Amino acid sequence: MSERRTITEGYAAHIAEIQGRWEAALEAEGFEAALIHAGSMQTSFLDDYEYPFRCNPHLLWWAPLLRHHDSALLVRPGRRPKLFYYQPDDYWYLPPEDPDSWWADHFDVVMANDPDAWLQAGTNERTAYIGDAPCLAEHVAETRLNPQRLVNRIHLERTRKTPYEIACIAEAARLAAIAHTAAAQGFREGLSEYEIHQRYCMSIGLVDAELPYNNIVALNEHSSVLHYQARDQQLPGKIHSFLIDAGATAHGYASDITRSYAAQPGDFADMIEVMDEMQKLLCTAVVAGLDYRELHLHTHLQIAGILKDFDIIRPAAEEAVASGLSSVFYPHGLGHFLGLQTHDVAGLIADADGTMIPRPEGHPFLRLTRVLEAGNVLTIEPGFYFIEPLLRKWRETGDASAINWDRVEALAPSGGIRVEDNVVVTDGEPLNLTREAFAAL
Ligand code: GLY
Ligand code: MN
Ligand code: MN
């Protein structure tokens, strides 16, 4: 069965499910309806050119309206959702195509030539408005615009993916696996960061604006910059390593995948292999009922153990974690929820009040602190890096003798290592969408 059919076959059930979840959330918060606005185009300051459009993810949950600024959806209990589909008579820009029946048949679609058509939606004072289009603030009382408890409820609902959503993320992983393979080939051919990025995009026919986040395409020490954003057109004199953190999208759903490569055999190549094995095991530990914070802390012990085994640090793993030394090399979180947003919603909240589930002390960048449930999709992305400012700070303010500086100097030109997969929590074994996608190529 083609990917596309698998995805679309699950769509009717997805719509029925999220209609039910919205109805329950509206009732719980005392609303009769919700009007979800896609957003509007925004121009840059003192200019008439627009930023790339990113649709309100709450609308994308319902339908793949990726480029559909100024469309809006009315959700009411017991009624088919009503979509105001903005399709202007325009000759400056290409308007959206007619709605595609595989999804549009589930809506009452009102074709709109006017961006304010949603104003005719027949809403009342018990309608909540969800979105950030400036027109909403003009027309809607503040108390009904993105009511926090309602938004929290919906965010929590979005953490349990339907089969349709999982099929979309699997498709995004399949595309990214193709592109990662093309990029790795480009690295082996000696291409620059810029050229590897172009190779990545061309291999799956995506342009930058269609990627879920800025591709991180890093040779050598650039891979120690966690969200490295430049794409050097010059090749370094000697190539040591390559890290690529890059995803793809399917119907608005993201994949988020990282692979690391060494240019030559040696310690760095061996460390990548050890990290890869460790990461694969971590992915198998992702089961319902697990507190993700525990897995994150466990990873610190494991990474400290690897640093010790490779003679980069001197203390035992437990001591390196307790003193904060492991965070010098591994300063980010183990991962995050993944879905319509790369860093998907509700990773840190417990309830509709938005009560924060605290991060472990000393781990300020962890984006997921919840106990895992079936249907969660998340990333597992341990890494370690030779980050000059963090190493310098430790040298100046910590126990400098805990680090083997000769080893750091020798390995720092390789930058760092990260391995990142996308994993579905199920009632049984976890499903590693990334490994499956690479294995299927
Ligand atoms: N690509 C960003 C991240 O892995 O979180
Ligand atoms: Mn990630
Ligand atoms: Mn990533």
> Cβ(248)–Cβ(206) under 8 Å?
yes
Pocket mutation for ligand 1, best pick of 245, 259, 337 (most atoms within 8 Å of C-beta) = 245
Higher pLDDT, 1 or 51: 51
Using CA atoms in the order 388, 391, 392, 395, what is the torsion angle rounded to 10 degrees?
-160
Q: What is the pLDDT of residues 234-259, one digit of tens each?
A: 999 999 999 999 999 999 999 999 99
CB atoms within 10 A of CB 376: 26
User: Whole-number mean pLDDT of the chain?
Assistant: 97
Dihedral over Cα of 194, 199, 201, 205: its sign: positive
Distance between CA atoms of 214 and 138, rounded to whole angstroms?
32
pLDDT tens column, 333-383: 999 999 999 999 999 999 999 999 999 999 999 999 999 999 999 999 999
Task: Show the DSSP H helices in 37-147 as ranges.
Answer: 57-60, 101-104, 134-139
Q: How far is the CA of 256 from the centre of ligand 1 (A)?
A: 6
| Helix, strand, coil abundance in the chain, percent, nearest 5 | 40, 15, 45
Percent of the chain with pLDDT over 90: 96
Average pLDDT over residues 277-284: 98
Stated length of the chain:
441
Q: Which residues contact 148 (CB under 8 A, 6 or more apart)?
A: 354
Maximum distance among all alpha carbons in the chain? 70
Region 122-131 average pLDDT: 92
**Residue of 226, 330, 343, 418 best suited for mutating to test ligand 1, as the one with most atoms within 8 Å of CB:** 343
Ligand with smallest separation from the Cα of 380: 2
Round the CA-based radius of gyration of the chain to a whole number and report it: 23
Ligand located closest to 213 CA: 1
Q: Which helix (H) or strand (E) holds 218?
A: strand 216-219
Strands 82-86 and 108-112: parallel
Q: Is the pLDDT of residue 5 over 70?
A: no
* 258 Cα to the center of ligand 2, angstroms: 8
Check if 381 has its Cβ closer than 6 Å to any atom of ligand 1.
yes
Determine the straight-line distance between the first and last CA of the chain, rounded to whole angstroms. Answer: 16
Residue 381 sits at φ, ψ, to 5 deg, of -140, 65
CB count, 10 Å around CB of 408?
16
The alpha carbon of 255 and the centre of ligand 2 are apart by a number of angstroms equal to 9
pLDDT for 6 equals: 79
d(CA 77, CA 54): 27
Distance 338 CA to ligand 2 centre (A): 8
- Binned at pLDDT 50, 70 and 90, residue 3 comes out as low
| CB neighbour list of residue 79: distance below 8 Å, 6 or more residues apart | none
- Ligand 1 atom, smallest distance to 258 CA: 4
217 alpha carbon – ligand 2 mean position (Å): 14
Which domains are seen in the chain, by residue range?
3-158 (3.40.350.10), 163-439 (3.90.230.10)
Confidence label for 67 from pLDDT (cuts 50, 70 and 90):
very high
Q: Is the CB of 213 under 6 A from ligand 1?
A: yes
Calculate how far, in angstroms, residue 302's C-alpha sits from the geometric centre of ligand 2.
19
Closest ligand 1 atom to residue 256 Cα is 1
Q: Which residues pair with 94 in a beta bridge?
A: none
> Does the pLDDT of residue 132 top 80, yes or no?
yes
Q: Is the pLDDT of residue 4 over 60?
A: no
Per-residue tokens: 302: 């494991």
- Reported as a pLDDT band with limits 50, 70 and 90, residue 2 is low
Share of the chain above pLDDT 70, in %: 99
What are the tens digits of pLDDT across the range 392-431?
999 999 999 999 999 999 999 999 999 999 999 999 999 9
Q: Is 194 in the pocket of ligand 1 (CB under 6 A)?
A: no
* Coil vs helix vs strand at 331: coil
State the burial class of residue 48 (Cβ atoms within 10 Å of its Cβ: 0-12, 13-18, 19+).
Answer: exposed
**Who surrounds ion ligand 2 at CB < 5 A?**
256, 379
Whether this model's pTM surpasses 0.95: yes
Nearest CA to ligand 1 atom 4: 256
Q: 1 pLDDT band (50/70/90 cuts)?
A: very low
CB 83 within 8 A of CB 71: yes
pLDDT at res. 123: 82
Res 311 pLDDT > 70: yes
Which ligand has the shortest distance to the CA of 379? 2
